[in-house]
């Protein structure tokens, strides 16, 4: 009693037990429910991985079809939600809209907010996974002043998202299958990452008994920061700021300068001190997309490639084990597909929703205490209260 372990940034504190995701940062290993991320990326798809994260096992063919059907049939949002968007200024940051709109979903599902009921928890999970791409695309359409596109039940999860993003009532082109596959991989590779800042936030919010929509809104708010999910957006802003290959050396020097707070965005990771296994898969997809779209010579993407090469060969980055992370490549892919930078973190949030909700569900199912960290107090000792008139 009276003694607390002081661990700022929780670098050596386990906050919970979990059976969902395993990471060995030194070896560059990431597994969901025992399956390596590389295997899932190659043989599975996002929806199957969602099922695995939520239920602990891969689905049978019949279970997969049933799950796909459930998610597909929950993709629409209430028309009143569409009206919410009108309250946002056209140039609102999409993450600002997402924080508000996802939290507001709690106001629509009173029928299933009893968190002690496993069926209620599951239907909330399905609603969130299904509606996130719809809401994400609505943010984009709102910013463009274009009509919202309804989901199409004949399309796959990623394909549907691209249809809602880029289709219009006058022109709704068929989605390129290479791009749809890349989008599915982006969702899959972001699906979960154990106790990162946003997932820990979701668990902490959930530990008070808050409803799942409110908890996920808290996760979205945490993901927004540039040291977490905001990094993919920061990568593109940085590439635009560098502007020309001839400026790269100066930026690399800034990143290495201890007195300069500048960091190369998209490099380094708190847990992976070896290559991020997601980044390897994302790099392959990145090359496929650039080839498919004939963008190998795009000036911004050339800066990215050169930066990647320098960082992989530079003594400072090698010594500090600062490898390109998943956000470096996902940012480049999304830019190539034509997704605006301020939507990048929204897409990360869409993919991560299943991880957040799987952790929340695990915590509630297994019993939990309210999260209540302590602190090391560094303020004043006991003081006399001086009356206002006699203060200097």
Residues assigned a catalytic role: 269, 327
C-alpha 315/C-alpha 255 separation (Å) is 13
Stretch that binds ligand CMC, among 98-106, 224-232, 354-362, 371-379 (CB under 6 A): 224-232
**With binding defined as CB under 6 A, does residue 202 bind ligand CMC?**
no
Report how many residues bind ligand CMC under the rule CB under 6 A: 18
268 touches ligand CMC by CB under 6 A: yes
Q: Whose CA is closest to 102, among 237, 216, 263?
A: 216
CB of 227 to ligand CMC, least distance (A): 4
Choose between 255 and 304: whose C-beta lies nearer to ligand CMC: 255
**Residue whose CB is less far from ligand CMC, 231 or 286:** 231
How far is Cα 247 from Cα 358, in angstroms, rounded to an integer?
44
| Least Cβ distance, residue 349 to ligand CMC (angstroms) | 11
Q: What are 315's two structure tokens?
A: 């003594």
Q: Which of 141, 185, 269, 359 binds ligand CMC (CB under 6 A)?
A: 269
Query: Contacting ligand CMC (CB under 6 A), which of 322, 334, 337, 364?
Result: 322
Q: Which of 76, 107, 227, 318 binds ligand CMC (CB under 6 A)?
A: 227
Q: Is 2 helix (H, G, I), strand (E, B) or coil?
A: coil
- Note whether 292 and 284 are within 8 A (CB): no
Residue 48 in contact with ligand CMC, rule: CB under 6 A = no
Locate 332 and state its tokens: 């480049």
Residues 6+ apart with CB under 8 A from 174: none
Report in angstroms how near the CB of residue 355 gets to ligand CMC at its nearest: 11
Per rule CB under 6 A, is residue 325 in the interface with ligand CMC?
yes
**Per CB under 6 A, 211 contacts ligand CMC:** no
270 binds ligand CMC, rule: CB under 6 A: yes
385, 260, 356: which is closest to 53 by C-alpha?
356
Select the span of 204-212, 262-270, 292-300, 331-339 touching ligand CMC (CB under 6 A).
Answer: 262-270
**Does the footprint of ligand CMC cover residue 242 (CB under 6 A)?**
no
Binding flag, residue 120, ligand CMC (CB under 6 A): no
* Residues in 346-375 that interact with ligand CMC by CB under 6 A: none
Closest residue to ligand CMC in the complex (CB): 268
Closest CA to 54 of 337, 367, 361: 361
Beta sheet of 21-24, edge-to-edge order:
21-24, 29-32, 35-36
Q: List for the chain the helix, strand, coil content (%; round to 5).
A: 60, 5, 40
123 near 54, Cβ under 8 Å?
Answer: no
Q: Are 262 and 238 in contact (CB under 8 A)?
A: no
Query: Are 173 and 166 contacting, i.e. CB atoms less than 8 angstroms apart?
Result: yes
Q: Which of 255, 336, 357, 363 binds ligand CMC (CB under 6 A)?
A: 255
Instruction: Point out which residues pair with 36 in neighbouring strands.
Output: 31
Stretch that binds ligand CMC, among 75-83, 203-211, 223-231, 374-382 (CB under 6 A): 223-231
CA separation for the pair 261, 63 (Å, rounded): 50
Assess 189 for contact with ligand CMC (CB under 6 A). no
**Residue in 237, 221, 238, 241 with CA at minimum distance from that of residue 346:** 221
Contact footprint for ligand CMC (CB under 6 A): 196, 227-229, 231, 255, 263-270, 320, 322, 325, 327
């Amino acid at each position: 009693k009276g003694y607390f372990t002081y661990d700022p940034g929780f670098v050596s504190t386990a906050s919970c037990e979990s059976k969902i995701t395993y990471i060995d940062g030194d070896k560059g290993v990431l597994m969901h429910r025992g399956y390596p991320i590389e295997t899932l990326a190659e043989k599975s798809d996002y929806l199957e991985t969602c099922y695995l994260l939520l239920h602990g096992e891969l689905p049978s063919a019949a279970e997969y079809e049933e799950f796909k059907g459930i998610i597909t049939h929950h993709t629409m949002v209430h028309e009143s939600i569409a009206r919410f968007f009108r309250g946002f200024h056209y140039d609102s940051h999409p993450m600002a809209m997402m924080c508000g709109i996802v939290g507001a979903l709690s106001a629509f599902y009173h029928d299933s907010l009893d968190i002690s009921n496993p069926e209620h928890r599951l239907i909330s999970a399905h609603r969130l996974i299904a509606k996130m791409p719809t809401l994400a695309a609505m943010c984009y359409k709102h910013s463009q002043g274009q009509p919202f596109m309804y989901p199409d039940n004949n399309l796959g999860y990623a394909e549907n998202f691209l249809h809602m993003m880029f289709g219009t009532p006058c022109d709704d082109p068929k989605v390129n299958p290479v791009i749809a596959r890349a989008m599915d991989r982006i969702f899959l590779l972001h699906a979960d990452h154990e106790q990162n800042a946003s997932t820990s936030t979701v668990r902490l919010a959930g530990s008070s008994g808050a409803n799942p929509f409110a908890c996920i809104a808290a996760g979205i708010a945490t993901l927004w920061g540039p040291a977490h999910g905001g990094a993919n957006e920061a990568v593109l802003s940085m590439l635009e700021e560098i502007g020309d290959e001839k400026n790269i050396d100066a930026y690399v020097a800034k990143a290495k300068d201890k007195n300069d707070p500048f960091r190369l965005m998209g490099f380094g990771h708190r847990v992976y001190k070896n290559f991020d296994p997601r980044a390897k898969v994302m790099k392959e997809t990145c090359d496929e997309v650039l080839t498919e779209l004939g963008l190998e010579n795009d000036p911004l993407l050339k800066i990215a490639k050169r930066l990647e090469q320098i960082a992989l060969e530079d003594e400072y980055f090698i010594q500090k084990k600062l490898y390109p992370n998943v956000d470096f490549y996902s940012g480049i892919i999304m830019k190539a597909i034509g997704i605006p930078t301020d939507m990048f973190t929204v897409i990360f949030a869409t993919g991560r929703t299943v991880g957040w909700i799987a952790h929340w569900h695990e915590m509630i199912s297994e019993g939990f205490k309210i999260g209540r960290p302590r602190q090391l107090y560094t303020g004043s000792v006991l003081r006399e209260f001086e009356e206002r008139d006699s203060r200097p």
